[in-house]
Every structure is written in structure tokens, then in C-alpha cells.
């Protein structure tokens, strides 16, 4: 289906085309851009509310600044759809987040207008400071650097580290704080209250308006001098809330209406001529221009396909009961366990609805915490809870736990604290692409002393691993990783059973080839074995369940019996299950033909999980093909690690 752009938008192929328009045309450009996003996302899917909220900001920035020479960085890249459309990608925007299409986030490999790759949050200020200092060093003193960071992203430590450096950098850096009180879920914490104080301060707003009017009258260097004279009185009149930015030596301007396109252009034009690091505080509404998205901002963060007129979100209608999402199983199970064990606490860094910890937050508000976009804090906060005898379930997306790796090692594992890491979205997550694939956790957790690393093959195993992890006989860190989306068992809610640590299980027996799987790819192997049996090829299949500790007793039996082994994992094959099996083989002087299936040594871009499993060659078809090829191999050809 072709999505048609409006009369003005259809003529804008690069920002230079936008800058050729008169200011009186920009309101219409904003309306057409907003409608194009609504039309496209309703039909093709993607993130929704965030980009609608920054339409005017996007148009104003590209209108005032000479992008791409002036460098624009979008923090939390799902708010950059309008940016992509205005920078030469309108005709391909329907491929956004699709296999071999546009990335869902800004990417340096995609466009010169995407100056920094962003998917994880809060990195923009640090990157902007680096760019600004580099260009100053090269003598490009006229080059501007604009950072757009959401208020939710301000809670991460790296944002404060970046501001701390920016304040003494003496660079042309403008930080635009997009304040809509939202990340995916509503923002939390003291910083949110800080920003609310600023926006409701009558004293400050009165002073602010007077200053901006003065800028408009005087203009140029005169405005700079007048602002310098007024700076002391401004600081005394301003509420204490804004001092967090002023104290870091960032000139603070705002708050301003982020949807008033003409006002934004006036302000940005003035700020462009004020030297040094600055912060402009813009108030916006996530989902602006689509009333349902404005009213329920969490639901419409990424709603899937929907009818743009009625607002009906299209859901698959199943003829029989369907398996739940792993996230739902986690959310319901932790509440069930917490009712029995008063020591259990829940922690998530800004993902309560995505991870389903919101179920516990509603049922037990004093025992479940959203700490904001602050993964390092989430892990060390969990460690603190554990020192006092509590059992924190720290639920973090696999890709985001990377941001707290030192805390996992130093604050949890080194002290052998009983923290349960529930790693959501492990493996290939699909359309979010390379920044969000949870491909590394198995490998990077496996090397940490004291860490138990497990992966359930289905929902029942997830429940039982969660049950096992909170038992009193567990003394150290315990990780459980599971994928995004639907599982495989409709009938999953069964009585809890303890799983012995470091034990695997036989799924099916066979003769010549043995398949070892970890986690959900075990279901691919079941399908492959079923197809192979139709041709009288019988492969043994074992679900390892634990990457660390390995079931060495089981592996001794396997290597004594089989000379052809295939390992399958939903993670990087360098350092994961396959590597662990080869190490075991070498350490114990076994020899066998070992084929490793998993994610290859490269970053995997966006696409549906099915497409990506096929690309990485560890889906059911790939396992079946590997078994058939291995059956043909001569046993005399042996590979030793």
C-alpha cells in the first residue's frame, strides 16, 4: 500500500528543501508530517507516540540549523521518525523496521544525517560533547551541535556525566530536553519532580517570558550582552529546581511550548548565536495530534497495526487457546511466588509494562520498583537489597544489562549476593534491530564466577527456574534468560517443581547424531527431529537448561556415545553453548565432529524473528539440514578443539 505525502511534504527530499520554504508554510509541513507518520505506522507498524510528540521540534531544528553540517543527535531513537522522513528516506519509510529495510533507530550506516547510532538511551550528550570538541579542535568553530534527549533518558548516569563535561567544554552545544513525562511508561523519580517544579513556577515563567521578549527586540550580540547582565537576577528569581542545570554551568532556557513551531524557530535562531553549552527545556505531549495516543501514552508507544480512524488495534484472532507471552508468565509467576515468599522484591529500569513487572507493582506496590532508565542503579540497588536478606528479582532486557556489566561482576557476583536476574528479550528480538538484539548475555554471563546461567525451553521451565532461583539453598546470583513474545505452551500454569542446578534432560533418543540445545531453540530442534524421522533419521536431542554449571555427567555420557554433535543456541556462538561444549571436549580428551549453530560473529539488523533465525541458520530447517549433512560425514574426519 502506497502512503501518499501531503503537497508540501512530497517536495521535501532533504532539509535544504524545507529551508527554502517560507515560515508561513511550516505549520502545514508539521501537519502533513504528523499525518504521514500516522498513516504509515498504522499500516506498517512501528513506534508511534514518541515521534508524533516531536514533529514541530524536528521541523524547527532542520529549518534553523544547517544539517548535516550542523550535527543533530537524537537520543532514544524511536522519536526520530520525522527526522528520517525529512532527510531523504520518505519514499522508503514503509520499510522501517522491516527485513533489509530502514532501521527503526538512527544509524550512521544509513544516512549522513544520522550522526550517531542510538537505540539505547542517554548517550547523546556524551557523544555531542565529543563531536563538539573534535570539531573545535579541527577549527570548525562555526559548526553547531544539537542534542535532543527525552526527559526519561535524563535519569541515566551517563546523561549526568555528559552534562558535567559539557558545562566546562566551551563548545557550540545545544541540549534540547524533550519533556513529556514519559519514556515507555510514565517517568519516575526525583528528576521528574524537578522538571515539574520548573514548568509550574510562575516566578520563573514570568522571568523567562521577559527575557525572551528582550531577545526578540535586541537580537544578535546585543542580546548576548543583555542576557549576561540579567543572568545573576535570573538565577535568583528562578526556582531551585532549575539549579541542577545552572550548577553544571549549562545556560538554561525555557520551559517553552514544544508544539509552537514559530516560537521554536525564534528561540533556536537566538540560541544559535549564543556561544557555549546551553539547555533548552521544551514541554511536549507524547502522541500529539492523535487523541488516543495522547490519552493512553503507554499503550500507543508501539501499538502495532491499527485503524487510524477508529483507533482499533488489530489483534490476531485464534481459534484455540494460544500460549502466553513469556513476559506475562514472568509477571504472573513473580506475584505467585511473592505471595508465598515475603523476601521477594521486583526491580526494573523503566520497563514495567514491557517486562510485565507492572502486575506486581499493582498487586504489591511496596515490593516492586521502577527505578527509571538507570540499569547500573537497578543492579546495585538489587545488591543492596540482597545484603539485607531479601531476594531481588532484577528484570532487565538482555541488551540493557550490557550497560550494567561492571555492577553485575563487582557488586553482585564478587560478593556472591542472591540476586535473580530475569533477562527479558534474550536472543534475536526482531524489528528493533541491532541495538536491541539480546545476543550477548549467555556469553558474557558465563565467564563470571559464582553466576548460574540458565535458559528455559518453554513457559513451564521459566516458572520452575524462577521457583528454584528463590529457594533458600540458593546463595549467589542466578540468571534466567527468555525470549520476547509468545511461548509454546497454552497449558503452562502447573505446580512448581525444583530443578536441580546444572542438570539437563533428554527430549528424544537417537543413534548417530546428538543435538544439544539451550533455551527456546530446543523447540526448533523438536520440529527438526520430527521431520527427520519421516526419512528414518533419528537424532538424539538434549535440552541442557543450564549453560553454567554444565551437566558434566550428562556430557560424559553423550561424548562416550556420540561422535557427531550439533549445538544450538539463541546467542552468539563465540563464547556460548557451543564454545562451552568444545572446551569440555578438550578438557576431557574427547574427540568428535561438532557443529555449532547460533548467531554468527556480526551484528544482526532488523527483521521478523523468523526471518532472522533463518538468516542466522539455526531455525528448524537449518537444524534439519545440519543433521542430514552430518549423517553423511565420515566419522574418520574428526575435529578436536
pLDDT, one tens digit per residue, over 435-454 is 999 999 999 999 999 999 99
Read off the C-alpha cell for 321. 487457546
Is residue 256 within 8 A of residue 263, CB to CB? The reply is: yes
Nearest CA among 175, 80, 162 for reference residue 127: 162
DSSP 547: E
pLDDT of residue 638: 46
- Strands (E) across 260-367 are located at 278-283, 344-348
Contacts for 592 with CB less than 8 Å, ≥ 6 apart: 559, 562, 563, 564, 565, 585, 638, 639
Cα separation, 349 vs 372, in Å, equals 5
Residue 347 forms beta bridges with which residues?
369, 394
Q: For residue 312, which phi and psi values (nearest 5 degrees)?
A: -70, 125
326-481 and 505-632 share one fold: yes
Cα separation, 536 vs 34, in Å, equals 58
pLDDT of residue 211: 57
Nearest CA among 416, 394, 383 for reference residue 334: 394
Cα separation, 295 vs 590, in Å, equals 63
Judge residue 405's burial from the number of C-beta atoms within 10 Å of its C-beta, 0-12 exposed, 13-18 middle, 19 or more buried: middle
Residue 352 pLDDT greater than 70, yes or no? yes
Residue 486 pLDDT greater than 60, yes or no? yes
Residue 518 forms beta bridges with which residues?
569
Tell me the average pLDDT across 367-391: 96
Tell me the average pLDDT across 345-371: 95
Nearest CA among 14, 76, 26 for reference residue 400: 76
Read off the C-alpha cell for 198. 520548573
Tell me the average pLDDT across 469-484: 96
Q: For residue 619, which phi and psi values (nearest 5 degrees)?
A: -80, -175
Domain map (residue ranges) of the chain: 66-84+106-201+239-288, 326-481, 505-632
Provide the whole-model pTM.
0.87
Taken in order 405, 409, 413, 418, the sign of the CA dihedral is negative
* Interval 119-162: pLDDT, tens: 888 999 999 999 999 999 999 989 999 999 986 788 888 999 99
Residue 590 pLDDT greater than 90, yes or no? yes
Is residue 417 within 8 A of residue 84, CB to CB? The reply is: no
Active-site residue (options: 32, 56, 375, 460): 375
Read off the C-alpha cell for 148. 535532543
Is residue 159 within 8 A of residue 191, CB to CB? The reply is: no
Is residue 54 within 8 A of residue 178, CB to CB? The reply is: yes
Residue 102 pLDDT greater than 50, yes or no? yes
Q: What is the mean pLDDT of the chain?
A: 90
The verdict on whether omega for the bond into residue 255 sits within 30 degrees of 0, i.e. cis, is yes
Is residue 488 within 8 A of residue 459, CB to CB? The reply is: yes
pLDDT of residue 488: 93
Percent of the chain with pLDDT over 70: 89
66-84+106-201+239-288: which CATH topology? Rossmann fold (3.40.50)
Read off the C-alpha cell for 126. 556524551
Is residue 348 within 8 A of residue 378, CB to CB? The reply is: yes
For the domain 326-481, what is the CATH superfamily, name and number? Answer: Thiamin diphosphate (ThDP)-binding fold, Pyr/PP domains (3.40.50.970)
Taken in order 429, 430, 432, 434, the sign of the CA dihedral is positive
Q: What is the largest CA-CA distance in the chain?
A: 88
pLDDT band at 617 (very low <50, low <70, confident <90, very high): very high
Rounded to whole angstroms, what are the CA distances from 226 to 204, 230, 235, 269, 380? 18, 6, 14, 17, 46
Tell me the average pLDDT across 561-589: 97
Is residue 330 within 8 A of residue 484, CB to CB? The reply is: no
pLDDT of residue 69: 97
Is residue 198 within 8 A of residue 204, CB to CB? The reply is: yes
Is residue 159 within 8 A of residue 125, CB to CB? The reply is: yes
- Strands (E) across 301-431 are located at 344-348, 368-370, 391-397, 420-424
pLDDT of residue 301: 85
> Is residue 286 flagged as an active site residue?
yes
Domain 505-632 is found in CATH 3.40.50.920? yes
* Interval 196-243: pLDDT, tens: 665 555 445 555 555 555 555 555 555 544 554 454 444 444 444 446
Is residue 126 within a helix (H) or strand (E), and if so which, with residue range? helix 124-137
Angle, helices 577-587 vs 552-561, to 10°: value is: 70
Nearest CA among 95, 135, 100 for reference residue 115: 135
* Interval 288-346: pLDDT, tens: 989 898 888 888 888 889 888 888 888 877 667 789 999 999 999 999 999 999 999 99
> Which single residue is written with the C-alpha cell 489483534?
315
CA 374 to chain centre: 12
* Interval 521-549: pLDDT, tens: 999 999 999 999 999 999 999 999 999 99
Cα separation, 627 vs 566, in Å, equals 8
Q: For residue 386, which phi and psi values (nearest 5 degrees)?
A: -65, -30
DSSP 91: G
Taken in order 616, 620, 622, 627, the sign of the CA dihedral is positive
Active-site residue (options: 143, 288, 403, 548): 403
Active-site residue (options: 251, 278, 286, 367): 286
Is residue 594 within a helix (H) or strand (E), and if so which, with residue range? strand 593-599
Amino acid at each position: 500500500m502506497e502512503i501518499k505525502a501531503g503537497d508540501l511534504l512530497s517536495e521535501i527530499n532533504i532539509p535544504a528543501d524545507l529551508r527554502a520554504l517560507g515560515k508561513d508554510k511550516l505549520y502545514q509541513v508539521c501537519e502533513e508530517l504528523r499525518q504521514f507518520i500516522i498513516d504509515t505506522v498504522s499500516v506498517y507498524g512501528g513506534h508511534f507516540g514518541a515521534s508524533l510528540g516531536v514533529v514541530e521540534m524536528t521541523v524547527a531544528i532542520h529549518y534553523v540549523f544547517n544539517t548535516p553540517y550542523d550535527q543533530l543527535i537524537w537520543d532514544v531513537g524511536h522519536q526520530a521518525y520525522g527526522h528520517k522522513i525529512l532527510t531523504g528516506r520518505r519514499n522508503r519509510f514503509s520499510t522501517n523496521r522491516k527485513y533489509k529495510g530502514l532501521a527503526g533507530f538512527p544509524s550512521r550506516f544509513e544516512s549522513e544525517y544520522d550522526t550517531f547510532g542510538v537505540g539505547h538511551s542517554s548517550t547523546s550528550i556524551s557523544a555531542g560533547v565529543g563531536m563538539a570538541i573534535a570539531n573545535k579542535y579541527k577549527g570548525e568553530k562555526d559548526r553547531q551541535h544539537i542534542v535532543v534527549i527525552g526527559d526519561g533518558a535524563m535519569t541515566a548516569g551517563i546523561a549526568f556525566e555528559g552534562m558535567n563535561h559539557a558545562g566546562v567544554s566551551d563548545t557550540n552545544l545545544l541540549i534540547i530536553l524533550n519533556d513529556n513525562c514519559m519514556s515507555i511508561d510514565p517517568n519516575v523519580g526525583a528528576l521528574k519532580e524537578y522538571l515539574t517544579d520548573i514548568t509550574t513556577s510562575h516566578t520563573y515563567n514570568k522571568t523567562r517570558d521577559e527575557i525572551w521578549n528582550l531577545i526578540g527586540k535586541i537580537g544578535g550580540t546585543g542580546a548576548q550582552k543583555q542576557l549576561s547582565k540579567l543572568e545573576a537576577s535570573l538565577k535568583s528569581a528562578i526556582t531551585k529546581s532549575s539549579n541542577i542545570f545552572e550548577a553544571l554551568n549549562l545556560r538554561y532556557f525555557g520551559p517553552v511550548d514544544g508544539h509552537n513551531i514559530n516560537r521554536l524557530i525564534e528561540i533556536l535562531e537566538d540560541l544559535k548565536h549564543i556561544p557555549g553549552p546551553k539547555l533548552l527545556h521544551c514541554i511536549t505531549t507524547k502522541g500529539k495530534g492523535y487523541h488516543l495516543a495522547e490519552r493512553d501514552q503507554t499503550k500507543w508507544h508501539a501499538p502495532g497495526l491499527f485503524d487510524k480512524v477508529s483507533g482499533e488495534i488489530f489483534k490476531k484472532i485464534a481459534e484455540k487457546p494460544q500460549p502466553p507471552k513469556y513476559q506475562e508468565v514472568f509477571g504472573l509467576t513473580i506475584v505467585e511466588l511473592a505471595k508465598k515468599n515475603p523476601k521477594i522484591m521486583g526491580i526494573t529500569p523503566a520497563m514495567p509494562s514491557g517486562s510485565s513487572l507492572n502486575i506486581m507493582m499493582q498487586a504489591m506496590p511496596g515490593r516492586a520498583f521502577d527505578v527509571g532508565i538507570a540499569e547500573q542503579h537497578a543492579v546495585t540497588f538489587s545488591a543492596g537489597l540482597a545484603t539485607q536478606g531479601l531476594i531481588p528479582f532484577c528484570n532487565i532486557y538482555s541488551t540493557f544489562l550490557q550497560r550494567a556489566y561492571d555492577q553485575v561482576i563487582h557488586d553482585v557476583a564478587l560478593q556472591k549476593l542472591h540476586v535473580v536476574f530475569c533477562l527479558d528479550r534474550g536472543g534475536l528480538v526482531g524489528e528493533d534491530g541491532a541495538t536491541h538484539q539480546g545476543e550477548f548475555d549467555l556469553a558474557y554471563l558465563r565467564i563470571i564466577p559464582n553466576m548460574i546461567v540458565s535458559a528455559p525451553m518453554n513457559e513451564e521451565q521459566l516458572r520452575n527456574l524462577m521457583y528454584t532461583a528463590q529457594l533458600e539453598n540458593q546463595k549467589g546470583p542466578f540468571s534466567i534468560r527468555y525470549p520476547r513474545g509468545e511461548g509454546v505452551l497454552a497449558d503452562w500454569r502447573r505446580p512448581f517443581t525444583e530443578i536441580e542446578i546444572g542438570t539437563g534432560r533428554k527430549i528424544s533418543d537417537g543413534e548417530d547424531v546428538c543435538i544439544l540445545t539451550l533455551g527456546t531453540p530446543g523447540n526448533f530442534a523438536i520440529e527438526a527431529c520430527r521431520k527427520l524421522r519421516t526419512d528414518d533419521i533419528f537424532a538424539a536431542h538434549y535440552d541442557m537448561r543450564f549453560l553454567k554449571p554444565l551437566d558434566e555427567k550428562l556430557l560424559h555420557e553423550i561424548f562416550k556415545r556420540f561422535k557427531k554433535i550439533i549445538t544450538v543456541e539463541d546467542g552468539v556462538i563465540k563464547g556460548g553453548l557451543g564454545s562451552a561444549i568444545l572446551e569440555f571436549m578438550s578438557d576431557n580428551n574427547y574427540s568428535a565432529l561438532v557443529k555449532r549453530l547460533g548467531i554468527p560473529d556480526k551484528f544482526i539488523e532488523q527483521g521478523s524473528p523468523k526471518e532472522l533465525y533463518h538468516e542466522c541458520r539455526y531455525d528448524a530447517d537449518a537444524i534439519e539440514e545440519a543433521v542430514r549433512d552430518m549423517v553423511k560425514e565420515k566419522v574418520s574426519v574428526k575435529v578436536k578443539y
